[in-house]
């Protein structure tokens, strides 16, 4: 599979996944406020990336489940930092 981001609105991106073959249809997993790169977990079930819910919050590393788009926060940067 191939994971990629598509800009949606100011500061928000859609996280999409598609099969690595011609004619594959992209499926949106969730919406994120991206910071940095994205990467797969070793088991291929989640994608790791930087995200935040509000523009005033610091970015945290989250794991996004491909199955349902559920986000699991992995870090908790202190308030007032960029993340």
pLDDT digits (tens, 9 = 90+) for 8-65: 877 789 999 999 888 889 999 999 987 678 999 999 999 999 999 888 889 999 999 9
- Residue 66's pLDDT band (cuts 50, 70, 90): very high
Residue 76 has a pLDDT of: 86
Residue 79: per-residue pLDDT: 83
DSSP run (H or E) holding 34? none
Q: Which residues contact 49 (CB under 8 A, 6 or more apart)?
A: 15, 32, 34, 35, 36, 37, 38, 39, 61, 62, 64
Q: What is the pTM of this model?
A: 0.84
Can you give the pLDDT at residue 35? 67
Contact 66, 45 (CB under 8 A): yes
What does R_g of the chain's alpha carbons equal in angstroms? 13
């Amino acid at each position: 599979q191939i994971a990629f981001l598509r800009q949606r609105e100011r500061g928000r991106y859609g996280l999409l996944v598609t099969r690595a073959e011609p004619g594959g249809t992209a499926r949106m997993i969730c919406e994120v406020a991206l910071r940095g790169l994205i990467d797969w977990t070793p088991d291929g079930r989640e994608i790791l990336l930087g995200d935040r819910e509000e523009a005033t919050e610091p970015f945290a590393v989250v794991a996004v489940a491909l199955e349902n788009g559920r986000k699991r926060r992995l870090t908790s940067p202190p308030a007032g930092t960029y993340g």
